[in-house]
Amino acid sequence: MSEERLRFLRSRIRDIPDFPKEGILFRDITPLLADVEAFRTSIQLIVEGLAGEPVQAVIGIESRGFMFGAALADKLGVGFVPVRKPGKLPSATYRAEYDLEYGSDAVEIHRDALNPGDRVVVVDDLIATGGTAEATAQLVHQCGAEVAAFAFVINLVGLEGTKKLEPHKVISILDY
Ligand code: AMP
């Protein structure tokens, strides 16, 4: 990964203090999405991180994981599977819950979204505590499939979210 490409991508991430609530420094990826060179570079770096590892599907986590996940699926020539917040998917689903700072949340996948034995890459824009990604891995397992790798554009390293995903392969482009 060349330093120049990483500097360029970093320049397309906008910091928004106190969003969505006080004390959170929100890493806004919309300038990256709006810049075709930056968007393509982010997808290319994930492809390079996969290093030819064969996958049968890309899983995108609602909602910013959909943008990167769909573009990655197209690039890899495989299908895209959405993981969504509860109550959004219309057919029969599996559900996995995860803890938040206060309370808990859940994610869902269609029961027939994957084939048993499929190897998949799970994509989101950013990993913070890793709770959402870990719950998504549980959904993949409930489908009888396996996580070949996780991929994130941004890793908030101080929160050590990637520890929750061990021993899986984790691709992350920018550390914050
Ligand atoms: P977590 O489950 O804690 O890893 O949280 C990851 C999810 O929360 C991702 O879908 C992110 O888009 C979102 N998120 C958490 N913290 C931030 C942040 N500082 N800036 C932008 N998005 C965030």
Ligand 1 pocket list (CB less than 6 A): 24-27, 61, 64, 124-133, 161
Q: What is the pLDDT of residue 12?
A: 98
On whether the CB atoms of residues 118 and 146 are closer than 8 A, the answer is yes
Which atom in ligand 1 lies closest to the alpha carbon of residue 127? Answer: 4
Q: What is the pLDDT of residue 152?
A: 98
Other CB atoms within 10 A of residue 138 CB? 17
Known catalytic membership, residue 64? yes
Mutation test of ligand 1: which of 126, 129, 153, 165 has the most ligand atoms closer than 8 Å to its C-beta? 126
Among 3, 4, 22, 101, the active-site one is 101
H or E segment and range at residue 76: helix 64-76
Nearest residue by C-alpha to atom 19 in ligand 1: 26
Known catalytic membership, residue 12? no
Which atom in ligand 1 lies closest to the alpha carbon of residue 125? Answer: 12
Over residues 94-113, the pLDDT tens digits come to 999 999 878 899 999 999 99
pTM of the complete model: 0.97
Q: Per CATH, the architecture of 52-175 is what? A: 3-Layer(aba) Sandwich (3.40)
Q: What is the pLDDT of residue 1?
A: 57
The list of the chain residues with pLDDT below 70 reads 1
Q: Where are the domains of the chain?
A: 52-175
Q: What is the pLDDT of residue 102?
A: 81
Helix (H, G, I), strand (E, B) or coil at 14: strand
Vertex 103 angle, CA 15 and 16, to 5°: 10
Q: What is the pLDDT of residue 101?
A: 77
Q: What is the pLDDT of residue 18?
A: 96
